[in-house]
Amino acid sequence: MFKQLWTLVCVLLLMMSAAAPVLAAETDAEAAPAAAPAIGVGAEAAVLMDVSTGDVLFDKQAFKKKPPASTTKIMTAILGLELGKPDEVVTVSPKAAAVGEATLHLDPGEKIPLYELITGALVRSGNDACVAIAEQIAGTEENFVKLMNRKALTLGAENTNFVNTNGLPNKNHYSTAYDLALMARYGLQNPAFSSITRQKETEIHFLEPDVLMNLRNTNKLLWNYPYADGVKTGTTNAAGKCLVASATKDGRQLVTVVLNAPNRFGDAQKLLEWGFGQTQALKLAEAGQVMGEFPLAGLKPVSAFLEAPVEVSIRLQDKDQLKTKIVWERGPELPLNAGERLGRYEVWLGDKKLKSVPLINEREVLSPPKTWSLFRRLAFEYRH
């Protein structure tokens, strides 16, 4: 009897040793990624981002806090579309009508659908329209601004602080090129937002009085660059000339932000063209694809599959320099639930992590019976 038990314990020891979990498995490229591209843009701060993947392809002081001017209206429009109903009627207040600078020349008491006001804010850059939107949604502009800042944080825009809805100068009103790209990327996924910002010219309809107003987009890139399809200009003495611009070519959309740029349309077009010509979006794996086998002590491993697709955008010259890594986040203890997170699948370029996607367990694995647990304990005691 003892001889049989001893034989079983030895077998268990061998199985447990072979099944010890691997903390990380990776494939590495030997070459280091090339240096950042030298693109001559006059903007004080700039960024280029792939809309699909969110990867940054170029940046120049992209995280420096700057006055955003009327690019602020991107967030105002996003919340107006998400929190309001397009056809709800807005009555213009005296406060909204009194806002100066670039306006729709609203008068107190005028009635206009919310969607028309949002169009006026994005296309014509109406400062008064932004205040009217805010009052309709949140009661006051101050309350609406709180919602703007909260939304910015949820999008990852951590270096942004709004104090008004339209970008009129205030020392405490700031953002960054990177944060504005995040907001624009989010907005472009909303069909209504995307539709409005790509319009060269349009008209809005007032209900009282019953009149139409023709609007011409302030974004000249829509006329000068055939792939342009958004997003928003901004200009103040403090901010200089600013532009958040998007373009789509061969099904791929990029967004660029240039702040305090004397030649904002030229800078934006140069960055977009470079992005389309010198970078590429790659899908490395599909959602649900099995990427590894998670080892269990003495039991058959379970398959670990991707929770989401793995997509990255990189320069063409860096394509062969990607490396991937599987990192297990838990030990082999049981039970193991179906759908439980086991680890993550990471994509790296040099020392920069581009993507991290959760790896999920494929099937349920219950705890072993008591007899099995006894043998494992005997094996452990023998080893120690």
Catalytic residues: 70, 73, 125
DSSP state of 208: B
Q: Using alpha carbons only, what angle is made at residue 61 by residues 319 and 247, rounded to the nearest 5 degrees?
A: 60
Write out the two tokens for 294. 């998670």
Task: Quote the CA–CA distance of 356 and 359 in Å, as a whole number.
Answer: 9
The string of DSSP codes covering 157-183 is -TT-B-SSSS----TT-BB-HHHHHHH
Task: Quote the CA–CA distance of 42 and 226 in Å, as a whole number.
Answer: 22
The string of DSSP codes covering 47-89 is EEEETTT--EEEEESTTS-B--GGGGHHHHHHHHHHHS-TT-E
Neighbours of 376 (CB within 10 A): 18
Write out the two tokens for 152. 């910015």
Are 303 and 62 spatial neighbours (Cβ–Cβ below 8 Å)?
no
Q: Using alpha carbons only, what angle is made at residue 373 by residues 371 and 376, rounded to the nearest 5 degrees?
A: 115
Chain centroid to CA 116: how far?
Answer: 27
